[in-house]
């Protein structure tokens, strides 16, 4: 059908406006990235102001009445089809939600997040939650206001969960975690009855520069485009994007534990590959954005666990690693290395957790966030409740705040509702990887040879190219022929750890 002349012009006007807003948001993202990597301490106050101004400006431009009129007119045109129509409807949905917030609220939230982040850094350095408590309490208050402004049917936390995973609710997640909790506990009990695998070779002296060089080489081999991104050091590894042709990742290096750098490099590369795979021609539009946080996490967990912690992967890469660290790894076999990097044992730190106990770390944060958002837990009680839940779920009690409730950056960013997507992402990852291997058997052959082009190609075609046009469940259904099924994850971990621990 040939569109009436007004429709292409209106749609072009919509695209131009959305891309201008994206320009401002990405300039804000550059400031946020700099804040976590290179910002000098005295720059924090001005940075808070700069970021608040950009946040307020982007919000004002997006929620202007003229934008609402344009979107409403486009949404009412029956001749707008396909991705263009979906873009408009999704943007109209975002517009309606954002118009619930005043510009002053957006500015207050941005300023609160910036203060909270710098207080978190100071609190981690001093190992004292009290230095973070006041700004976190103010931020939690604002997040409760946000939930009230957005609105919810059952639980205030639902409003925040929906920001990261559309359609996600407390009722849904309670069911998901209830379904996975006992099978995980049963498998952990079986593993606990077997001799523990040795991973002591990871905790030796590994020089910083050699670790960095190996990590940089590794992420390049996985497909990270260094002409469209870079890696740096930060307190907490993260990925941010200023567009698919400028994606930044960070890692951290511990000279006494090689695992810190290795897994964060691979994990963040998974995020980055997704961002670099989004369609450049859809910049600023829903079709050029990631589908959801759980789909984003599926990409990082897939590359970290299904590829990076697999035996076929290390059959090629371990001799290379041994050549870099002959003194530390020269006497270790590939199979022993594989078992060691998949060692299962409760730990205090989420980012260091194995892929079985990891989900209990997520459950702790999920339970705390529910209580905080419903108002039944005060900010001052977070350290005590954290210790209680860790004792209940993992049989461990943090000796201090740094290894307890100060370990994650997410709350200082105001990212309440993010943590459950880590587990959902793991479940999606298992399903995506198994179906990808079935549909393209050559994937199984290429990984032991040091290649992953076929796998990345499958992800580009089935996950990345869709942007935000499909919800997580619909994307999963289209890519795998089924909605999310827990059997893929449960089958994967049972098969893998039965072999590693001779169950």
Evaluate if residue 5 carries a pLDDT over 60.
no
Q: Where are the domains of the chain?
A: 6-126, 170-501
Query: Residue 232 gets which letter from DSSP?
Result: E
Mean pLDDT of 247-262: 93
Mean pLDDT of 63-74: 96
Q: How far is CA 239 from CA 34, 246, 280, 430, 463, in A?
A: 12, 11, 18, 22, 18
Q: Among 306, 288, 308, 287, which Cα is nearest to 298's?
A: 306
Residue 235: predicted pLDDT: 80
Evaluate if residue 475 carries a pLDDT over 50.
yes
Evaluate if residue 415 carries a pLDDT over 70.
yes
Longest CA–CA span in the chain (Å) reads: 73
CB-based burial, 152-174: b 16+ in 10 Å, e otherwise: beebbbbbbbbbbbbebbbeebe
Instruction: Please check whether residue 402 is in contact with residue 127, taking contact to mean a CB–CB distance below 8 angstroms.
Output: yes
Tens digit of each residue's pLDDT (9 = 90 or more) over 213-240: 999 999 999 999 999 999 999 887 899 9
Q: What angle do CA 209, 210, 215 make, to 5 degrees?
A: 95
Which token pair is 264?
């964060």
Q: Among 403, 393, 429, which Cα is nearest to 182's?
A: 393
Q: In what order do the strands lie in the sheet with 239-241?
A: 229-233, 247-251, 239-241
Evaluate if residue 125 carries a pLDDT over 70.
yes
Query: Residue 304 gets which letter from DSSP?
Result: I
The mean pLDDT value of the chain amounts to: 95
Which token pair is 141?
């208050």
Mean pLDDT of 310-324: 97
Instruction: Please check whether residue 182 is in contact with residue 439, taking contact to mean a CB–CB distance below 8 angstroms.
Output: no
CA 289/CA 282 separation, integer angstroms: 8
Which token pair is 4?
């009436």
Residue 80: predicted pLDDT: 92
Between 2-16, 310-324, 358-372, 470-484, the lowest mean confidence (pLDDT) is in: 2-16
CA 284/CA 162 separation, integer angstroms: 21
pTM of the model as a whole: 0.92
**Which positions ≥6 away from 390 have C-beta within 8 Å?**
348, 364, 396, 397, 398, 404
Residue 44: predicted pLDDT: 86
**Which positions ≥6 away from 459 have C-beta within 8 Å?**
273, 274, 277, 299, 302, 432, 436
CA 125/CA 191 separation, integer angstroms: 36
9: annotated active-site residue: no
Which token pair is 419?
């943590």
Which token pair is 298?
């599926």
Which token pair is 278?
């989004």
Evaluate if residue 15 carries a pLDDT over 50.
yes
Q: Tokens 């924090």 map to which residue?
A: 44
Query: Residue 249 gets which letter from DSSP?
Result: E
Mean pLDDT of 30-44: 90
Residue 2: predicted pLDDT: 42
Q: How many residues does the chain have?
A: 503
CA 287/CA 220 separation, integer angstroms: 26
Residue 95: predicted pLDDT: 96
Q: Give the model's confidence band at 48: pLDDT under 50 very low, under 70 low, under 90 confident, else very high.
A: confident
3-state SS of 474-488? HHHHHHHCCCCCHHH
Evaluate if residue 200 carries a pLDDT over 70.
yes
Q: Tokens 């892929």 map to which residue?
A: 355
What is the CATH code of the structural domain delimited by 170-501?
Answer: 1.10.1370.30
3-state SS of 100-135? CCCHHHHHHHHHHHHHHHHHHHHHHHHCCCHHHHHH
Q: Among 268, 233, 272, which Cα is nearest to 253's?
A: 233
**Which positions ≥6 away from 58 have C-beta within 8 Å?**
21, 24, 25, 28
Evaluate if residue 1 carries a pLDDT over 70.
no
Considering the chain, what percentage of its residues have pLDDT values greater than 90? 92
Residue 221: predicted pLDDT: 97
Q: Among 344, 372, 392, which Cα is nearest to 193's?
A: 344
- Stated as kind and residue range, the H or E segment containing 247 is strand 247-251
Instruction: Please check whether residue 414 is in contact with residue 391, taking contact to mean a CB–CB distance below 8 angstroms.
Output: no
Evaluate if residue 245 carries a pLDDT over 80.
yes
Q: Of 56, 111, 268, 282, which residue is the catalytic one? A: 268
Tens digit of each residue's pLDDT (9 = 90 or more) over 262-295: 999 999 999 999 999 999 999 999 999 999 999 9
Residue 36: predicted pLDDT: 86
Q: Which residues pair with 254 in a beta bridge?
A: 257
Tens digit of each residue's pLDDT (9 = 90 or more) over 348-386: 999 889 999 999 999 999 999 999 999 999 999 999 999
Q: What are phi and psi of 229, to 5 degrees?
A: 170, 180
């Amino acid at each position: 059908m040939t569109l009436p002349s007004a429709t292409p012009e209106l749609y072009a006007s919509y695209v131009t406006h959305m891309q201008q807003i994206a320009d401002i948001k990405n300039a804000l993202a550059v400031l946020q990235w700099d804040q976590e990597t290179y910002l000098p301490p005295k720059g924090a106050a001005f940075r808070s102001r700069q970021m608040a101004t950009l946040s307020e400006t982007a919000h004002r431009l997006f929620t202007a009445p003229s934008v609402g009129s344009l979107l409403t007119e486009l949404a009412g045109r029956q001749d707008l089809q396909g991705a263009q129509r979906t873009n408009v409807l999704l943007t109209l949905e975002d517009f309606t939600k954002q118009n619930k917030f005043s510009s002053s609220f957006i500015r207050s939230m941005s300023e609160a997040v910036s203060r909270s982040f710098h207080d978190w850094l100071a609190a981690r350095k001093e190992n004292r939650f009290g230095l973070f408590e006041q700004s976190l309490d103010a931020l939690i208050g604002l997040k409760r206001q946000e939930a009230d402004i957005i609105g919810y049917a059952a639980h205030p936390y639902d409003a925040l969960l929906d920001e990261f995973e559309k359609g996600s609710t407390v009722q849904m997640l309670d069911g998901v975690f209830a379904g996975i909790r006992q099978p995980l506990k049963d498998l952990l009990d079986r593993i606990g009855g077997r001799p523990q695998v040795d991973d002591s070779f990871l905790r030796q002296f590994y020089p910083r520069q050699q670790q960095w060089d190996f990590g940089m080489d590794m992420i390049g081999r996985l497909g990270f485009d260094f002409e469209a991104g870079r890696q740096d050091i930060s307190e907490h590894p993260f990925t941010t994007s200023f567009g698919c042709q400028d994606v930044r990742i960070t890692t951290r290096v511990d000279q006494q534990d090689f695992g810190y750098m290795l897994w964060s490099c691979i994990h963040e590369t998974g995020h980055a590959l997704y961002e670099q795979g989004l369609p450049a021609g859809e910049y600023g539009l829903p079709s050029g954005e990631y589908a959801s946080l759980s789909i984003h996490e599926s990409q990082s967990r897939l590359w970290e666990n299904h590829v990076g912690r697999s035996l076929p992967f290390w059959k090629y890469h371990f001799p290379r690693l041994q050549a870099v660290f002959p003194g530390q790894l020269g006497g270790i076999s590939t199979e022993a290395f594989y078992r060691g990097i998949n060692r299962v044992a409760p730990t205090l730190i989420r980012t260091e957790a194995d892929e079985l106990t990891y989900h209990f770390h997520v459950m702790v944060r999920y339970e705390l966030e529910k209580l905080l958002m419903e108002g039944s837990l005060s900010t001052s009680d977070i350290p005590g409740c954290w210790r209680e839940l860790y004792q209940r779920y993992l049989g461990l009690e943090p000796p201090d705040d740094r290894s307890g409730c100060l370990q994650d950056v997410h709350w200082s960013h105001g990212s309440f509702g993010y943590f459950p997507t880590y587990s959902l992402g793991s479940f999606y990852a298992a399903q995506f990887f198994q179906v990808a291997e079935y549909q393209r058997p050559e994937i199984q052959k290429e990984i032991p040879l040091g290649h992953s082009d076929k796998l990345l190609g499958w992800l580009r075609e089935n996950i990345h190219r869709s942007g935000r046009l499909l919800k997580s469940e619909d994307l999963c259904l289209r890519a795998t022929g089924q909605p999310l099924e827990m059997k893929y994850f449960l089958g994967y971990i049972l098969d893998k750890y039965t072999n590693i621990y001779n169950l």
